[in-house]
Structure 1
Amino acid sequence: MNQTQTQRRRLLTAAIAAPASFGLLSPWAHAQTWPSRAVSLIVGFPPGGIADLTTRLVANHLTRALGQPVPVDNRAGAAGNIAGQAVASSAPDGYTLLSAPASLLAINPHLHRMTFDPFTDLVPVAATGRVFVYLMVRANLGVQNVQDLLAMLRARPGQLTFGSAGNGTSSHIAGEKFTSQANVTARHIPYRGAAPALTALIGGEIDFLFDSGPGLQAAQAGRVQLLAVGSRTRVPALPDLPTLHESGLTDFDVDTVFGIYARSGTPAAIVARLSTEIGRIMQSTEVREGLVAIGAGTALEGSPQELAARVRNDSERFGRIIRERNIRPD
């Protein structure tokens, strides 16, 4: 073998070895320089709703914390699955994140044919907020509290109606859990969205509804009656409002946790940085007040592990109700 052939062989060997070497070093090196450009935050709902407004509030503060733009990308449709698929199929480099309610992971797999596995294709980064769900009745129903409503439901089995934002939605599952746990029956009336369902309650077309917050103004104006919040703890902004747990439905909890997720395989150092920064953001008075102002409940803090545990617990609880009540999506 002459000198030229030897040199070519050395170059070829180096070229073959280089990708392996870079593959070992790139996650560490990438994490050290991240972020060097904009970080996209995808949300699976249209602009103007609680999911979108919560995401934008976090994105504005995350832009300051990271020193790079964090634009919000609305990809609505398929109950959030379109957005989830976009992140699940993205590069695991920390530049494409998902902002989503726990329902995307905890409810959708029980109802929809998924094109990705949210528990293996996504990794939890941080919780961002908890949206409370309220039990409301039409103003002229003639009940004053949860006990009155349950007594009426027992006296008139199958005659009262409850609305929802559609079959398989969180409000539908909340209503089914309520009637199941209380051992009463009521007729479900699905609408095409939360707003039409609330309008129906105000108009007296249905008897009760689980609402995520937009109905609070109607309750304040006396157009609907607010009975309880569907969580284990009272709402800080409404300290006199009882929980369904206190009203006799032990451990009743249908509130929604919002969180940030990354593509699985994202370097641990990037996930840790994001978790720390978002945790600081959620502790700020400005963000906490902002969440209350947009009706998004309260800020949450917690590790990725705590968020993952909450989502898995929700998946087990809601999955059981979906199976028992034979819930199907529209």
Structure 2
Amino acid sequence: MTTRRALLKSLAGGALVAGAATAGLPLAARASGWPERPVRILVPFAAGGNTDGIARLLALHLSDKLGQQFVVENRTGGGGTIAAEATARSPADGYTLMVAAVAQIAVFPALKKTNYDPVADFAPISNVANNPFCLVANPSFPAKTVGELVAYARERPGKITYASGGIGSIGHLTMALFLKRAGLEMAHTPYRGGAPAVADVIAGHVPLYFGNLSEALPHAGGALRALAVSSATRSPKLPDVPAVAEFYPGFKTDTWNGLIAPAGTPKEIVDRLASEVRAALKEKKTLDQLDSFGVDPIGSTPEEFKATIAADLVLWREAVKDANVAL
């Protein structure tokens, strides 16, 4: 934990000072005249988390390669919707970007009306990294596999309880999708965040939890038993743990962090940024740091990221309906 905090602290400092020099500025960037002044990267959460850490990694790389400061600005509130709205309302000139999470772009718009349109108001640049979910159980829970869980729960409809980080959280909605596919009924116990939910599963107060893989990793094989991951295939971080898709083909959910800009941002700038994201994800130091966050690098094109967002909007609207959530 100390190492992780030290890493995030060093990134926070470096992102503010990197890249003042313009020597060696690529010809394409010179020709467009962008960037001619510092660029801000909005982060919808407080400093210290994965989204913030990813933003600072990008800020360091972009500052170095594009010859201007890329400065991280933490704009918290509203579960990230305040930062998203600020991004949507900013000039489409390449000087305001956002490292968004799936919650702001696909989940919250499915839950409630937002002051921005997740499709019309943003220009997708690149999906930077993914973090799948992991279904975990207290080791005392009788079911040791997904198959055993399904059989056990079918005999006890509505009597087994699962925890989540809150009503309408991605973990809650992922479990709703799983229960629908498996034809199960369970009771939901929402918590105020993932940390207290994990703590109560470890303590044995609640037997099950579907949360971020990064939350489960420190406890998997010890205080928690990992039953399945929500990615399309097994995670390299837990290679012996099956994917839900092995039991229910096509099942896939994850949370991602992607770089976006206001709609109308020039294509030349969007493409340049996407290219630099992919370049950053080829650097060993970046990959090592992402691995320490417990996330998987992606580096998609703008077109691929646009398709991901479209698919997730459909997915999470379905999940909200299945979970019967209204905020």
- TM class by shorter chain equals 0.7 to 0.9
Aligned to 1:89: 89
- Aligned residue type for 2:137: V
| Residues in 2 aligned to 1:136 and 1:102: alpha-carbon distance in whole angstroms | 22
Which residue in 2 is equivalent to 1:324? 322
Q: Deviations over 1:112-159 (max 9, x none)?
A: 221111211111011100111111011211222111111111111111
Gaps of at least 5 residues in structure 2 are 1-27
Alignment of 1:18-33 (within 5 A): 32-33=32-33
CA contact (8 A) 1:38 1:95 kept: yes
Q: Distance in 1 between matches of 2:171 and 2:68?
A: 37
Contact 1:283 1:299 in 2 (8 A): no
CA offsets per residue over residues 87-109 of structure 1, 9 Å max, x none? 11111111110101223221111
* Aligned-pair CA distance for 1:278: 1.0
Q: Distance in 1 between matches of 2:224 and 2:231?
A: 20
Q: Answer yes or no: is 1:255 the counterpart of 2:254.
A: yes
Work out the CA distance in 1 between the residues paired with 2:91 and 2:250.
Answer: 40
State whether residues 41 and 98 of structure 1, in contact with CA within 8 Å, keep that contact through their aligned partners in structure 2. Answer: yes
Matched, 1:174 2:174: yes
| Unaligned ranges ≥5, structure 1 | 1-27
The residue identity in structure 1 corresponding to 2:164 is S
1:218 — aligned with what? Answer: 219
In the alignment, does 2:319 pair up with 1:312? Answer: no
TM-score, normalised via structure 2 length: 0.88
How many angstroms apart in 2 are the aligned matches of 1:152 and 1:275? 47
Q: Distance in 2 between matches of 1:47 and 1:153?
A: 40
Matches within 5 A, 1:33-112: 33-112=33-112
Secondary structure of 1:150's aligned partner:
helix
Post-superposition Cα deviations, 1:181-220, rounded to whole Å, max 9, x if no partner, equal: 1000101111111111111111112111112112211224
8 A contact 1:75–1:82 mirrored in 2: yes
Identity of aligned residues (%): 34
Could you say what the CA RMSD is over the residues aligned between the two structures, in angstroms? 1.7
Partner SS, residue 113 of structure 2 = coil
> What is the TM-score when the length of structure 1 is the normalising length?
0.87
Deviation for aligned residue 1:31:
7.1
Q: How does 1:130-145 map to 2 (within 5 A)?
A: 130-145=130-145
Q: Distance in 2 between matches of 1:109 and 1:195?
A: 25
Aligned pairs, number: 299
CA distance in 2, matches of 1:215, 1:237: 11
Residue of structure 2 in register with 1:5 after alignment: none
In structure 1, how many angstroms separate the alpha carbons of the residues matched to 2:261 and 2:139?
44
Structure 2 counterparts to residues 155-304 of structure 1, below 5 A: 155-212=155-212, 213-220=214-221, 222-246=222-246, 248-295=247-294, 297-304=295-302
Distance 1:209 1:78 in 2: 24
Q: In structure 2, what is the Cα distance between the partners aligned to 1:63 and 1:109? A: 32
Tell me if structure 2 keeps the 8 A contact 1:174–1:210: yes
Q: Aligned partners of 1:56 and 1:229: how far apart in 2?
A: 28
C-alpha deviations, 1:49-75, integer Å up to 9, x for none? 222222222222222121221121111
Give the greater-gyration-radius structure (CA).
1
Q: Which amino acid aligns with 1:269?
A: E
Contact 1:107/1:319 (8 A) holds in 2: yes
Task: Report the AA paired with residue 263 of structure 1.
Answer: P
